[in-house]
Homo-oligomer: A and B are copies of this chain.
Amino acid sequence: MNDRNQARARRDASRAGAASDESRRRPTINDIARLAEVSKKTVSRVINESPFVKEDTRQKVSAIMRELSYEPDPQARGLAFRRSFLVGFIYNNPNPQYVVNAQQGILDGLKGSGLELAVRPCDRDSDTFLEEMRGFVQRQKLFGVILFPSVSEDERLAELLQGLDCPYVRVASVELDDAESMLVTNDAVGGSEAARHLADLGHRRVGHITGPLTFRSAHERRRGFAEGLAERGIVLDEAWVKQAGYTFESGLAAGRELLARTPRPTAIFAGNDEMALGAYQAARDLGLRVPDDVSIIGYDDAPIAARVWPALTTVRLPIRDMGRVAARKLMRQEGVDHDEADETVRPTLVVRASSGPAPAD
């Protein structure tokens, strides 16, 4: 701390002779109170929109606050409230596109509220995971926490947050135990969209490359896919479901195996875009054309999906919207933000060039 102050002192010295300290100082609640000829408590009431302030008093105080462009100090306020104005964004998703979109959406939702976003990636498998999270939440006295998959599915973390009395919103693909603070992404819907699309194109022999079934997202996508097929009278053969690891390489291996079979599937639904691209590669290796010989559908609409050739048909999650909705939900729970907002978000199928009519036998 010594050193730190030295550094600051040096900087101060280097710009000595600027405006006088008095005039440069940010105004405090005391300054406002003095100028408005009221007590600081009354100013505080104005800040917090207490109904117990006479209208003209409020006007006078507001005018002075505006004139001095006064903003209350979040640290001081937080200290008194025993609570900060920091929202924690806890994530462990390996897909950067996903993280950035979610983060951006949350920031959209937080905008103008005075809340700041503190980000915190984590590793659920770490021994100290829960301890770290506890430290983060408790030390910062977080206003609230927003959880995205797959940490959002961690019940231990949810319990911890309840114990710490820290409000949270979980974004997840299925209903969890505490439905109240949940936001559902409907992965099953996305799966069934893909299924209907393939069925309508005439496909009957369809394969599925699923992500690790320990991920709810993978589980739900598969379930939705099977249900969508069933709606069209098609049974998803368990033998044509290969489990992979959400990675390109694992998708490649699974794709190779599925496409080497006789009879061959005419379509493959992959649990994410990475694996879909692995399947592309597998098809290419086997001399199969997409979509003429085999249709391939992904999930996520990663930026790469539109770039590859042929452009990938995929299911898009409105992740940024989900972030925004999650943030507003948190704020609404805590009594800031009085808008209404719908709380569930539907994925949509983006049809590109990788899906086409089933080939004649």
* Interface residues in chain A, defined as those with a beta carbon under 8 Å from any beta carbon in chain B: 1-8, 11-12, 15, 18, 26, 48-50, 71, 73-76, 78-79, 84, 86, 96-97, 99-101, 103-104, 107, 116-121, 135, 138-141, 162-163, 165, 167, 248, 274, 277, 281, 284, 303-304, 306-309, 333-336
Contacts and interface: CB of A to CB of B under 8 A. Distances in A.
23 contacts: A2-B50, A4-B335, A7-B333, A8-B165, A11-B165, A18-B163, A26-B138, A71-B135, A71-B138, A73-B141, A75-B84, A96-B96, A96-B97, A96-B100, A104-B121, A107-B119, A107-B121, A116-B118, A118-B118, A281-B309, A304-B304, A304-B307, A304-B308
B335 A6 contact: yes
A307 to B, nearest CB: 5
Contacts of A334: 3-4, 7-8
A286 B128 CA distance: 55
Contacts of A163: 18
Nearest to A83: B8
How many monomers of this protein are in the complex? 2
Nearest to A93: B100
Nearest to A6: B335
A102 to B, nearest CB: 10
Given A277-B307, A307-B248, A307-B304, A76 B74 contact: no
Given A2-B335, A162-B15, A79 B75 contact: yes
Contact of A11 (B76, B101, B167): B167
A86 to B, nearest CB: 7
Question: 3 smallest A-B Cβ distances: which pairs?
Answer: A3-B335, A96-B100, A4-B335
Contacts of A139: 71, 73-74
Contact of A75 (B6, B141, B304): B141
Contacts of A138: 26, 71
Contacts of A277: 307
Contacts of A12: 165
Contacts of A304: 303-304, 307-308
Given A3-B335, A74-B139, A107-B119, 8 more contacts: A1-B49, A7-B334, A12-B165, A15-B165, A75-B141, A96-B96, A103-B119, A118-B118
